[in-house]
Structure 1
Amino acid sequence: MSEQLPRRIHIGYGMGSMATGSFATVPGLLLLPYLTDTIGIGAAIAGVIVFIPKFWDVILNPIAGRISDRHESTRGRRRPFLLWSGLSLAVLFAMMFAGPTESQVIGASWVVLVFIACASAYAFFQVPYVSMPAEMTDSYEERTKLMTWRVSLLAVAILVSGGLSPMIVNAFGGEASVAGYRLMGIFVAALLVVGTLGAYFGTAGAPDLQNDTAGGSFADQLRAVAQSRDFRMLLGTFIIQALAISAILAGVAYVAKDLLDDPGAATFLFVAFVGPAILVTPLWERFARTRSKRTGYMMSSGFLIAGMLLMAVLFVGPSPIVYLAAAIVGIGYAGTQSFPMAMLPDVAAHDAETTGENRIGVFTGIWTAGETAGFAMGPGLFALILAIGGYQSSTAAEFVLQSDAAKSAIALGFSVIPAVLVIASMAVLARYRLDAQLSGAQHD
């Protein structure tokens, strides 16, 4: 059994979430409205543009896991990837919103190409980063502590990046502008640098409990990982919930502008969402100590459903109840991030212990590919709902009053459809069994 990790390692590892949280949040929040309401691209096409780089990551992430599994370095197997990929991501992110906007074709092409480059850099940051806890400790409880710090700082990253970015975008004249988007890109790039350096230097000297690198071809390893029933159930649950959450994120700017009649309300929605998440994350950790992680995951999913259904109040018009609903979703979100991220290292480490081979990078590569797919499909799903509802795109210089059908589509994609998805995910999670075995072994 591993000794307890120093608090410095907990915090250092958690700092990586400043990078992952910022990159996962801001494109999902602002890239779709940037394309539809600044460059003037149709909602359906904009959804495809957002999806393409994410689809590329689905392919690249398992490859990144395989490469990091086989990497050897005096600085650790995974840490070197954090530094070069994280800094590259920061530069590329600033470039993504610095492209031309006068031509729809050129502007869209710029976004696609730079976003693909961002996605590539992110793959080589995220996959090694997610792989690290399984190699830092073999303790069931220590992994939960690592994930608690990760999710706590993830919530901070979402609050800072998701709360301030819309304000920066609207800083010039009170409405979204090209200059605002470019300044926002630089701001988020700075957050990415902070998270990268914090994770790289903060995890220096961390234990590195490596098993032998798995033999066989890449396809053999993919098949071996896919044979893990518990991994399939856990991943399936997480993908469906990522789809639901990312659909909500994609809708925040539209809800603020078209349903609440206040573009600045996007920031308050984010504060209502993330504030409770920061407060309750330690409580979810305490829950995991006395009950199983799976039980906590189920309960937190229930909070997600309750909050999402309450958001249906938007169908009847602007209401402050939507902020209460966002807070309830935030409580659930904290748990639905903490528990699966603590359960994934359990699954990967259990495989390494039973086989004697290290496939942790492949596990996390497939995991992050699935997560990326879910978060990619969310904005695409929301864009499709907008297109069906007849949403009218515009440029930064235009104002378009949306129809009642378009407003109903925004409310539907922001509330009922995400709730149905989370309900479906709980049926998958009910088939996960490994948690009870590991929890019992930990206390024997």
Structure 2
Amino acid sequence: MIAPAASTSTVSRGVRLGYGVGSFCTATVTAVPGLLLLYYMTNFLAVPAWLAGVVVTAPKVWDLFINPMVGRWSDRTRSRMGPRRPWLLAGACTLPIAFFLVFAGPPLTGVPAALYIAACFLATATAYALFEVPYKAMPGEMTHDYHERTSLLQWRMVFIGAATAIAGVLAPAIVTSQGDDGTPASYRLMGATIAAIMLVSMLGAFFGTARAPMTGAPEADRGGWREQFSAVKDNSAFLWLTVLACTQMLAVSMMLAAAPYFAAYTLGTPTATQTLFAALVGPILLTMPLWVRLARRFDKRGAMILATVLFGGGTTAAVATPLFGSAWAHVTILVVGVGYAGVQLLQFSMLADVIAADAQRSGKRRAGVLTGLWTAIESGVSSFGALIFGIILSLGGFIESEPSRPVQQPDSAVTAVLIGQTAVPALIIFASALMTLKYRLTPPGAPASDASA
């Protein structure tokens, strides 16, 4: 159980807004490549589906090294701006450029195109780590209050909802503005637009958190990697939360990678990607107050189970899309959106609780290390979503193509698209509901439960 704090720091509205706006970056840099990059490579650059899946996955392995390193550096940073904000600024100066280059390459196809994108995506992952890891560590240091963290993070989720709309509606709209399937030029325009939005949001977070409170943060942990990893290994709440988040994000990443294919081959129109994402985003923007109340009523673990059941139920129902058509698909994605909103909010709120509990128990500042490990493992595992979907496409006989040489996909490939978008992610997300039962970090005054249990 999290120990009661002697005093509770209240985070001002200005800081909440300033912190939340950074999610325009963290959401879009994940969602846009997750949604469009695999499709861009297989349908515009003639990269085989299995190789495109490897390209999307491989740079994320680097996260397993760079994210904990950035977290450790930020823990040990001493600056008049605090330990985290200098890294936000470093990310703002590098990430937009690297992201733009992913979609702005020379006219290459096949293996050379795959190598170019892999290099740029690796640079993007590195620059993103500079911002993401310190950014996600901050809520656990802003307030001691168990429920205020959820309230604080609902502001972030509103911005994530808006950013998801940008990723799922604006980005595909720009891509298809010069034709239903898009052109290389439209992908470059999309990359430049999203990069500009990232830059503004990252600078907004940097300046907006200038007055963020630090709730008596302890001294940084000066132990070596072995001592720090040993401490993490003994923190079962952190370990179970990481496993839970990885499982959920694996399902999400599969659905993101599958969405353009689902729109094109199951619904019959690539532009349906935009309306499907509108159905997903709407609940994220509208249901945050509801999920905050449910977390108070049923505690975060109970609310998380409800969220995963809604997510998995909607995904399962989408299997029937070929029978009931486009309207059915949009209704099921709306249900998925309600569950996904709760999953996202509760993941980040639980992570802040784990960070705060670790600081109280150890008396050391390890927020950066914990967040770095969490994001690295989550990112690495979730990146396999595109790889798994690429393998499913290959097993189904999907044929890669270029705009100048369109192909007719076999029925087996169309079936593979449906399975990769619905049945497989549903099984994964339902498994996460069972994992939630192993997470037992509770608020002050709750029935006995050890902080690390």
> In which range does the TM-score fall when normalised by the shorter chain?
over 0.9
SS state of the match for residue 77, structure 2?
coil
Partner in structure 1 of residue 305 of structure 2: 298
Going from structure 1 to structure 2, the CA distance change for 1:161 and 1:439 (only over 3 Å counts) comes to farther
Inter-partner Cα distance in structure 2 for 1:237 and 1:325? 23
Going from structure 1 to structure 2, the CA distance change for 1:438 and 1:268 (only over 3 Å counts) comes to farther
Partners of 1:145 and 1:285 within 8 A in 2: yes
Match of 1:289 among 291, 296, 312: 296
Matches within 5 A, 1:58-77: 58-77=64-83
Matches within 5 A, 1:341-360: 341-360=348-367
Q: Quick check: 1:267 aligned with 2:274?
A: yes
Inter-partner Cα distance in structure 1 for 2:422 and 2:332? 10
Partner in structure 1 of residue 396 of structure 2: 389
Aligned letter for 1:348? Answer: I
Going from structure 1 to structure 2, the CA distance change for 1:108 and 1:317 (only over 3 Å counts) comes to farther
Partners of 1:82 and 1:128 within 8 A in 2: yes
Aligned letter for 2:70? Answer: A
Aligned letter for 1:319? Answer: S
Partners of 2:96 and 2:196 within 8 A in 1: yes
Q: Quick check: 1:219 aligned with 2:226?
A: yes
Matches within 5 A, 1:359-370: 359-370=366-377
Inter-partner Cα distance in structure 2 for 1:160 and 1:53? 24
Q: Quick check: 1:234 aligned with 2:241?
A: yes
Q: CA deviation at 1:101?
A: 3.0
Inter-partner Cα distance in structure 1 for 2:348 and 2:95? 23
Flag structure 1 segments of 5+ consecutive residues without an equivalent. none
Inter-partner Cα distance in structure 1 for 2:298 and 2:202? 33
Partner in structure 1 of residue 43 of structure 2: 37
Inter-partner Cα distance in structure 1 for 2:186 and 2:445? 49
Q: CA deviation at 1:290?
A: 2.6
TM-score by length of 2: 0.95
Inter-partner Cα distance in structure 1 for 2:443 and 2:419? 37
Partners of 1:87 and 1:196 within 8 A in 2: no
TM-score by length of 1: 0.97
Q: Quick check: 1:134 aligned with 2:140?
A: yes
Partners of 2:137 and 2:352 within 8 A in 1: yes
Partners of 2:146 and 2:443 within 8 A in 1: no
Aligned letter for 2:65? Answer: I
Match of 1:162 among 168, 172, 192: 168
Q: CA deviation at 1:86?
A: 2.3
Match of 2:382 among 370, 375, 380: 375
Inter-partner Cα distance in structure 1 for 2:188 and 2:26? 20
Partners of 1:304 and 1:328 within 8 A in 2: yes
Partners of 2:9 and 2:213 within 8 A in 1: no
Going from structure 1 to structure 2, the CA distance change for 1:315 and 1:388 (only over 3 Å counts) comes to farther
Cα deviation digits, residues 352-371 of structure 1 (max 9, x gap): 11111111111101110122
Q: CA deviation at 1:178?
A: 0.2
Inter-partner Cα distance in structure 1 for 2:23 and 2:105? 27
Aligned letter for 2:111? Answer: V
Aligned letter for 2:396? Answer: G
Going from structure 1 to structure 2, the CA distance change for 1:248 and 1:438 (only over 3 Å counts) comes to farther
Inter-partner Cα distance in structure 2 for 1:284 and 1:72? 36
Going from structure 1 to structure 2, the CA distance change for 1:194 and 1:438 (only over 3 Å counts) comes to farther
Partner in structure 1 of residue 197 of structure 2: 191
Partners of 1:133 and 1:143 within 8 A in 2: yes
Q: Quick check: 1:327 aligned with 2:318?
A: no
Inter-partner Cα distance in structure 1 for 2:307 and 2:324? 28
Partner in structure 1 of residue 451 of structure 2: none
Partners of 2:45 and 2:109 within 8 A in 1: yes
Q: CA deviation at 1:226?
A: 1.9
Deviates further, 38-47 or 316-325:
316-325
Inter-partner Cα distance in structure 1 for 2:415 and 2:248? 22
Partner in structure 1 of residue 128 of structure 2: 122
Cα deviation digits, residues 148-167 of structure 1 (max 9, x gap): 11111101100112211111
Q: CA deviation at 1:174?
A: 2.9
Inter-partner Cα distance in structure 2 for 1:265 and 1:343? 34
Partners of 1:140 and 1:438 within 8 A in 2: no
Going from structure 1 to structure 2, the CA distance change for 1:10 and 1:103 (only over 3 Å counts) comes to same
Partners of 2:48 and 2:110 within 8 A in 1: no
Inter-partner Cα distance in structure 2 for 1:437 and 1:386? 49
Cα deviation digits, residues 36-64 of structure 1 (max 9, x gap): 00000110011001111111112211111
Q: CA deviation at 1:246?
A: 0.6
Deviates further, 382-391 or 282-291:
282-291
Going from structure 1 to structure 2, the CA distance change for 1:183 and 1:292 (only over 3 Å counts) comes to same
Deviates further, 126-135 or 290-299:
290-299
Q: CA deviation at 1:435?
A: 2.3
Q: Quick check: 1:430 aligned with 2:424?
A: no
Partners of 2:219 and 2:364 within 8 A in 1: yes
SS state of the match for residue 26, structure 2?
helix
Deviates further, 295-304 or 167-176:
167-176
SS state of the match for residue 138, structure 2?
helix
Inter-partner Cα distance in structure 1 for 2:19 and 2:154? 10
Deviates further, 338-347 or 100-109:
100-109
Match of 1:177 among 163, 167, 183: 183
Deviates further, 298-307 or 209-218:
209-218
Deviates further, 229-238 or 20-29:
229-238
Aligned letter for 2:266? Answer: L
Partner in structure 2 of residue 57 of structure 1: 63
Deviates further, 45-54 or 82-91:
82-91
Aligned letter for 2:416? Answer: A
Deviates further, 173-182 or 334-343:
173-182
Flag structure 2 segments of 5+ consecutive residues without an equivalent. 1-6, 449-453
Inter-partner Cα distance in structure 2 for 1:164 and 1:397? 25
Q: CA deviation at 1:5?
A: 1.1
Aligned letter for 1:288? Answer: A
Inter-partner Cα distance in structure 2 for 1:295 and 1:436? 13
Partner in structure 2 of residue 421 of structure 1: 428
Going from structure 1 to structure 2, the CA distance change for 1:175 and 1:103 (only over 3 Å counts) comes to closer
Partners of 1:12 and 1:199 within 8 A in 2: yes
Partners of 1:259 and 1:317 within 8 A in 2: no
Match of 2:406 among 391, 399, 406: 399
Match of 1:6 among 12, 17, 29: 12
